[in-house]
Amino acid sequence: MSSHHQVTDALNEQLSCELGSWYSYLALSAWCDRQQLTGCAGWLRAQAQEEYTHAMKIYDFLLARDVEVKFTQVDPPRQEFANIVEIFEWALKQEQENTARIDALFQLAMEQKAFASLVELQWFITEQVEEEQSARANLARIKMVANDPAAILDFDNMLGERNLPLDTSPR
């Protein structure tokens, strides 16, 4: 197996992971909708759209490089949570795991001198800094107000102010 095949195989794996994150954020959104936390649900649904966009960015990159896109099964996401704090703990954990995968993929691309992949992955590294920062901030905020139902509703309203992107294309 050539070195670039190792990188493209890893990119295909990351494509599946991004789709898994999309699926997971939808599950988090559904939990919030069931709890009547529609602002949180909308914010998490927008996160799901971002994850799908990330998957499509990898998909398009692989096709542009004339590489076969390989699809694997995406496992069902966690769907049961005790409270809203667990939702945002899970979101942060998911982003941290994704950052670790992107970093490892970048390292592999460096080792294999897959320069086009390095350029593509730089975008993902920058994106993950933003994603983790946002997840940490939301978790910190919800932990501060976790025992105050009125404050949880204020938090929910704050997150509900996020607009869903109309164009989810990765370009």
Residues contributing to the annotated binding site for Fe cation: 18, 51, 54, 95, 128
Decide: 55 and 15 in contact? Cβ < 8 Å: yes
Residue 80 CA neighbour count, 13 Å, CB half = 0
For the annotated binding site, the residues are: 18, 51, 54, 95, 128
Which of 30, 55, 73 has its CA nearest to residue 169?
55
